[in-house]
Amino acid sequence: MARLGAVQVNTVWSWCAVNESRRRVYFSIWTDKACDYQGRRAYVMQEPDWGMDDVSGRKSPARNDQDAKFSLVFDGGYEPYGYFIVAKDPSEHPRQIAETRTTFVMKLELHTAESGEILGIPIERVDVR
């Protein structure tokens, strides 16, 4: 994130980061969460239950942080970007990261599906040096 001039709220649990001067938000994208959205390749950026406590229904700090970053995009005019992460075991809950791919980021177009998922459609690859 430092190479992108982006800051995370917490380097351990944050799922995203912000570059305030460039008005960009960088979201993590699970590589195995690809899907089709209106005939275009997309990635699930957030499912309705991610970061929600099963018993209390409370949001985790990571979920609150990500919701705030989505608000910057949807309501504040920030540009969304994504970097890919690979799960050690995609069936585990919670997931663990096996690999983070940060030699490039994808400029995204974000949509909220009827199911409540937030989807990111890659529209441009940007190499990071």
pLDDT the model gives residue 6: 95
pLDDT the model gives residue 85: 96
- Tally of domains in the chain: 1
**Burial status of residue 19 (CB atoms within 10 A of its CB: 0-12, 13-18, 19 or more):** middle
For residue 2, pLDDT over 90 is answered with no
pLDDT the model gives residue 11: 87
pLDDT the model gives residue 68: 98
Q: What average pLDDT does this structure show over 93-118?
A: 94
Residue-range definition of the domain harbouring residue 42: 2-127
CB 7 within 8 A of CB 25: no
For residue 129, pLDDT over 80 is answered with no
| Tens-place pLDDT, residues 15-29 | 999 999 999 999 999
Rounded to the nearest integer, the mean pLDDT of the chain is: 95
pLDDT class of 126 with cuts at 50, 70, 90: very high
**Burial status of residue 5 (CB atoms within 10 A of its CB: 0-12, 13-18, 19 or more):** middle
